[in-house]
Amino acid sequence: MIYIFTMVFSLNVLILSSSAARYDYFQFTQQYQQAFCNSNPTPCKDPPDKLFTVHGLWPSTKVGRDPEYCKTKRYRKIQRLEPQLEIIWPNVSDRKANRGFWRKQWYKHGSCASPALPNQKHYFETVIRMFLAEKQNVSRILSMATIEPEGKNRTLLEIQNAIRAGTNNMIPKLKCQKVNGMTELVEVTLCHDSNLTQFINCPRPLPQASPYFCPIDDIQY
């Protein structure tokens, strides 16, 4: 009797834990279209805008590997959301390939976002809400701090402080890239707790040895 009870109990724990979160926080990453196209191995088919648009919303861990490609139902077209996704989440290299980008982001990252975001509809609706309704548009956040995309050299602190002013003073993660001797701001990540209820300081800053490490000054945006 006790044996069976124990077995059933551990089976339950196993089932529950396998559907429970394997992530500690979310990264909401946006890419600066012009810089993205400057470094893309194949030229962008569409002219890039001077705007940050969504790269993805990624469930992430503070230690170890981030979850990817979790088991999921097949990707379904989400026509109702497409007009908004086309604006905030284009495939910057080729807007005709938007659907492929969304599908890949869903399989690679969205499929692991349960329980906070239990399904595909929830995942995409949440990104739209964060970007538009919650005004987590990085271009907008920078602009609010009077940092416009003018191709000027900025200090790291200037950029960080501008973003912190729009994210409850939490520290973002920034990616820079070197192109023709210049350093460009290419990605900004805003971090959120595992509930997506509040901003947090981004864990795991890029190591100094990373090719994307941002210097303290002369960052072009």
Ligand X SMILES: *[C@@H]1O[C@H](CO)[C@@H](O)[C@H](O)[C@H]1NC(C)=O
Please give the annotated binding residues for RNA, written as ranges. 31, 55, 91-92, 101, 104-105, 108-109
How many other C-beta atoms are found inside a 10 Å radius of the C-beta of residue 69? 10
Closer to ligand X by Cβ: residue 80 or 218: 218
Residues 91-130: x where in contact with ligand X by CB under 6 A, - otherwise, as a string = x-xx--x--xx--x--------------------------
Active site residue 109: yes
Of these residues, 27, 30, 55, 177, which one is catalytic?
55
Q: Interface with ligand X by CB under 6 A: which range of 8-16, 158-166, 172-180, 193-201?
A: 193-201
CB distance 121 to 75 below 8 Å:
no
E runs forming strands in the chain: 25-32, 52-60, 153-154, 173-179, 182-193, 199-200, 219-220
CB distance 178 to 199 below 8 Å:
no
Active site residue 122: no
- Interaction between residue 143 and ligand X (CB under 6 A): yes
Residues 163 to 182 in contact with ligand X, rule: CB under 6 A: 182
Which three-class secondary structure state does DSSP give residue 106?
helix
Which residues are designated catalytic?
A: 55, 105, 109
